[in-house]
Amino acid sequence: MGKIAVFGGGSWGTTLAGMLAEKGENVHLWVRETDLAEEMSMKRENTRFLPGVSLHPSLQISPQLPDVMRGADVFLIVVPCQFMRRVLESVAGEFPDNPVVVCASKGIEQSTVSPMSRVVAESLRGKNPRYAVVSGPSFAAEVSRRLPTAVSLGCAQKDLGEELQKRLSTEYFRVYVNEDFHGVELAGALKNVMAIAAGIADGLDFGLDARAALITRGLAEMSRLGEALGARARTYMGLAGMGDLVLTCTGDLSRNRQVGLKIGRGMKLQEILDEMNMVAEGVKTTEAVCALGREKGVELPISNQVHEVLFGGKSPEKAVRELMTRTLKCE
C-alpha cells in the first residue's frame, strides 16, 4: 500500500487524514506547531482545531515535514492558500519526480492572483507534478462525525482521477471526478466571497429573500468569472459550485459566513480576524477576485461591494443599497 502525506493540521487536514487512516490507508500528517503535534500524538485529538474528535490509532503525526513526505506516493495539501507557495518551496527538493499533488485548500494567492494549480506548478518547477483538487460542500465538523458528504475531485488526467477517487472515497465521503480541475478550484475559491456577502445580509437581518437572491446572483457572478478564466460553465452547477455555495452561504459552520455576519452586526474586520483561531480564506480571496475581474474585464458587482466593505470603509447598508439600485437589466 502507498503512503499519503497530508500537509496541514487544521480542522480540514486533520479530518481528511483521520478519515483516510480509518479507511486503512497509510497516512502521515504534518502539523506545523511542534507542541500541537506532540499533544495530538499523545492524546489522539486535535484539541485546538478539531476538539472532541478521536484520531485513528494508525495515524502518524509529526512536525517534521521531510519525515512525513518520505516514501509517499500522494501528497494531500491542506495549508492556507496564502502560505502554500512558501511551504512547497521549502521542501521542493523532497518531492519525487512527477508527484501526485492533491489540493484541498480553497482560495487564490493574493500576491499573484494565481489559483492553487499554478502555485503548485511554479513551486515544484522541474518536478512535473500531477495535480488534482478536492472541493465541494464539506464542513470538517460534519465529515469528522461520518455524516454523508459528496465532493468533486478536479483532475485533467482521467486515469489518475479515477485512481484518486477510489483512494479518497469512503462509505460516507463520496467523490465525483470532474476533468475541469480549473473550474473546480476556482469555484471553491469564489464561493467564499459570496459567503461573506450572504453573512453580511443576514447580519443586517435582510431576510431569506435577500439571501436567496445573493446566492443566485452570486452563482452567476462566479460562473461569469470562471468562464473568463477558462473554466466550464456546467462545473458551477455541480458540487464545487452550487453545492458549496449553498453550504457556505447558509451554514453557520462556515468561517466566511461568520465574518460577514459579524460585519453586518457592526464589528470591524480586524476585530473579527483577531478573535478567530482559523483562517477565513474569503477575506484575502476577495482582493484577488476583484483584481482578476479588472484584469479580465468581467463585471463583479457583489465581489466589488464586499471588497469596499472589507477594505474601503463602506457601510454594509450602503453597499446593499448600491447593489439594489444598479441599472436594471435582463437576467
**pLDDT (tens digit, 9 = 90+) per residue, 121-151?**
999 999 999 999 999 999 999 999 999 999 9
CATH number, domain containing residue 22: 3.40.50.720
Position 181 confidence tier, pLDDT thresholds 50, 70, 90? very high
For the four alpha carbons of 223, 226, 227 and 232, in that order, the dihedral sign comes to negative
233-246 pLDDT per residue, tens:
999 999 999 999 99
Does 279 lie in the same domain as 260?
yes
pLDDT of 42:
97
Provide the residue range defining the domain that includes 256. 183-324
**Catalytic choice (106, 127, 191, 262):** 191
pTM: 0.95
**Distance (Å, rounded) from C-alpha 219 to C-alpha 236?**
7
The answer to whether position 303 is within a domain reads: yes
Would you call 296 a catalytic residue per the annotation?
no
DSSP 114-175: EEHHHHHHHHTTTT--EEEEEESS--HHHHTTT--EEEEEE-S-HHHHHHHHHHH--SSEEE
For the residues 264-293, what does the mean pLDDT come to?
91
Does 187 lie in the same domain as 120?
no
Does 293 lie in the same domain as 277?
yes
Does 208 lie in the same domain as 97?
no
**Distance (Å, rounded) from C-alpha 91 to C-alpha 96?**
11
16-69 pLDDT per residue, tens:
999 999 999 999 999 999 999 999 999 999 999 999 999 999 999 999 999 999
Among 160, 179, 198, identify where a domain stops.
179
